[in-house]
Amino acid sequence: MKTNQLLNKLGRLYPKRIALKNKDVVGYMAGQKVKEINKIVLLLDLDEIVLEEALRHQPDLILTHHPFIYGTRAKVFKRDEKKALLAKYLDTLPLMVYSMHTNFDEAPNGMNDALAEKLGLIDIKPLQKAPMARGGRLEKAMPLEVFSQHAVKVLDSQYGLLVDAGKEMIETVAIIGGGGSRSWSVAQEEGYDLYISGDAPHYVRRDIMNAQYNYLDLPHEIENIFLSKMKEVLMQIDSNLEIITIKHEIPPKLVKVE
């Protein structure tokens, strides 16, 4: 498939203007701009850990969720010599590195829609004051801890950290994959019984407790759903594309005292 044709189709589905609104950096990152794309490797991140495996597939495009270069090359390379060396090496190869981040998170049929659907929510919609988040309701009210265990399982995590200071029975849930913990107050304000995100610092958890609200902190790696969702989208664009997904990121181990 012609490169411009594929990227234009993706751009209409997940516009760069959404990322720019979030002060995000997306699009072309490194490598040589190829004319045609037939084989794509999908990754959550491109780094030294997965580079050899990704290149072994000889892709025309490496498509990542998290931006490979987050900012201008000059600023990033000044503080990250390893990133500079990796990018300069990729620039010698006949492939493109391209990233889709908050534009994929926020747009319809993207990251947070996929997560909400995986949770089994119905009547899914963006939050009014936090449009990257998705909210929905359960078909039947559930105990908070039962639903939390369900969420950990279906979002392919090994654990979750639950702040259970709100309702014991829940009917409505809001979610942002990754590090969206600071939007918890919007979810509470808009009437959701539980908010799910990740990377919550201590002071955010304390604020949630003081507000007598429920929050489930799941590892950032639940965003691995990008791999299956983006493959589905790409196959709908062109079923002849060869798509390789590499799930190389797992949450850190949870150490428990027996």
For the domain made up of 3-103, give the CATH fold: 3.40.1390
> What is the per-residue pLDDT for 193?
98
pLDDT (tens digit per residue) in 72-131: 999 999 999 999 999 999 999 999 999 999 999 999 999 999 999 999 999 999 999 999
Quick one: 107 exposed, middle or buried, by C-beta within 10 A (0-12, 13-18, 19+)? Answer: buried
- Alpha carbon distance 186, 155 (integer Å): 23
> What is the per-residue pLDDT for 181?
97
> What is the per-residue pLDDT for 258?
83
- Alpha carbon distance 101, 32 (integer Å): 21
AA letter at 231: K
pLDDT (tens digit per residue) in 13-23: 999 999 999 99
Domain boundaries, the chain: 3-103, 108-222
Task: Give me 112's structure tokens.
Answer: 């947070």
Nearest alpha-carbon partner for 230 in 64, 68, 102: 64
Residues of the chain short of pLDDT 50, as ranges, are: none
Domains 3-103 and 108-222 share a fold: yes
> What is the per-residue pLDDT for 256?
86
CATH of domain 108-222: 3.40.1390.30
One-letter-per-residue 3-state SS of the chain: CEHHHHHHHHHHHCCHHHHHHCCCCCEEEEECCCCECCEEEEECCCCHHHHHHHHHCCCCEEEECCCCCCCCHHHHHHHCHHHHHHHHHHCCCCCEEEECCHHHHHCCCCHHHHHHHHCCCEEEEECCCCCCCEEEEEEEEEEHHHHHHHHHHHCCCCCCEEEECCCCEEEEEEECCCCCHHHHHHHHHCCCCEEEECCCCHHHHHHHHHCCCEEEECCHHHHHHHHHHHHHHHHHHCCCCEEEECCCCCCCCCCCCC
Nearest alpha-carbon partner for 105 in 180, 183, 186, 3: 180
Judge whether 117 and 177 are in contact, CB under 8 Å.
no
Model confidence, pTM:
0.96
Q: How far is CA 183 from CA 78, 175, 194, 197, in A?
A: 32, 9, 12, 9
